[in-house]
Amino acid sequence: MLPSYFEFYNPVKIVSGHKALDNLPYELSQMGVTRPLIVTDKGVVAAGLIQVVQEAFGSSGMTIGAIYDDVPPDSSVDVVNAIAEVYRANGCDGLVAVGGGSPIDTAKGVNIVVSHDKGELKDYMGADRLTGPLKPLVVVPTTAGTGSEVTLVAVIADIKRNVKMAFMSRHLLPNLALIDPRMTLTMPAKITAATGMDALSHAMEAYTCLQKNPLSDAHATAAITLISRYLPLAVEDGKNATARLALANASCMAGAAFSNSMVGMVHALGHATGAVCHIPHGVAMGIFLPHGLAYNLPERAEIIGELLLPLGGAEIYAATPPQSRPERLLESLNKLQKALEIKAGLPMRLKDAGAREDQLGEIALKAINDGALMMNPKEMDMEDAKAVLKKAF
């Protein structure tokens, strides 16, 4: 059903391909950048991926201003400020984030600091507090799950105040996302599976939540089709460059979808579980996705049934009566999850992921206060959350 009003915004240029990274110096030059600062972490360096980035500059004549490779898994204000000093000290004029969610969010935070002469990072916390465009930012994702290369949000921890600061602004959207399968070839099977389920949850919640629209739907269903086909292949053979490229594109499309239509209870529960139990986000998404879809069935049965086409394929969809499609969709999702559990060791239950039963009440309390619930098709109170958590445990 066409909504009476919607907005869709995704101005990020996307360059995708088996040698896409080789275009980096040219793309930077087109933005007027001459001395980029590369922001990354030790894991990316250890995997040899920064060397691939450096080789891309080769004989281009462009000089890398500096490389900051010490971004922690959970970035903080102190790290952002330290990188901003490196940026200024080396006369940099643009940013290249290479990594997963943390380096990308960190680079977005650095961009806020180096683009504003006044105030501190915390002064820009919240929605639409940034004024005017920021410095050029290129993102080179090394995982295929977060979709951060096309999102307008960043989360940075303020350790002194013990809070996670959220920033949301269209100015935080990168100028360019470079999707190159060479950057994800080294991901272990379990992380491949977890990040793939993260992207799948982005796409499925984007398609089923209250703010869905035709453009987000198109991105979401294309992402689901690619994940269904290529995630098992990438888990089986991590060096399958075709599968890696497909999943990186799926993550990007799912990111564009949920940035415009938002997510729902699966993410509310996932955020809360991460905070209480420190379970990796992708693992939590995989566990909660079928439970979230089942919970929303009373309000979204037909729409959830439509997802059988991209997830199960045209033959299964056509052979399944419309009233049976929601249940068949959940069966297909369960089949995918079991395959990932067997091949990659991805847990399907909270207890197998390290959660304790006595933590469920705390998770439920945090979940019902999470902003992601705003766009969930069905309201969820404390008792509802506890019931879903018990099923997932």
Q: What is the pLDDT of residue 158?
A: 86
Q: Are residues 149 and 201 in the same domain?
A: no
The DSSP secondary structure of 102-130, one letter per residue, reads HHHHHHHHHHHHHH-SSS-GGGG-EES--
- pLDDT computed for residue 362 by the predictor: 96
Together in a domain, 126 and 212: no
For residue 79, CA distances in Å to 65, 83, 138, 176 come to 18, 6, 19, 23
Residues 233 and 133 both lie in one domain: no
pLDDT in tens, 178-196: 999 999 999 999 999 999 9
Q: How far is CA 297 from the centre of its chain?
A: 25
Domain range holding 293?
Answer: 189-392
Q: How far is CA 224 from CA 19, 21, 55, 214, in A?
A: 24, 25, 33, 15
In a domain, 8, yes or no: no
Give 63-83 pLDDT, tens digit per residue.
999 999 999 988 899 999 999
Q: CA 367 to CA 385: how far, in whole Å? A: 7
Domain CATH code at residue 83: 3.40.50.1970
Let me know: does 65 contact 37? Beta carbons within 8 Å: yes
User: Rounded mean pLDDT of the chain?
Assistant: 95
pLDDT over 80 at 252, yes or no: yes
Neighbours of 325 (CB within 10 A): 22
| Whether residue 80 sits in one domain with residue 201 | no
Query: Are residues 221 and 168 located together in one domain of the fold?
Result: no
Q: Which residues pair with 165 in a beta bridge?
A: 156
pLDDT tens, 165-176?
Answer: 889 999 999 999
Whether 311 and 357 share a structural domain: yes
- pLDDT at residue 56 greater than cutoff 80: yes
What pLDDT does residue 64 have?
96
Task: Kindly indicate the confidence band of residue 161, based on its pLDDT and cuts at 50, 70 and 90.
Answer: confident
pLDDT at position 162 is: 76
Mean pLDDT within 45-72: 94
Question: Facing residues of 280 across strands?
Answer: none
Residue 3 lies in a domain: no
Asked if residue 232 and residue 380 are part of one domain, the reply reads: yes
Terminal CA-to-CA distance of the chain, rounded, Å? Answer: 35
Please state, in angstroms and rounded to a whole number, the distance separating the CA atoms of residues 389 and 284: 11
pLDDT score of 1 more than 80:
no
Whether 131 has a pLDDT exceeding 90, the answer reads no
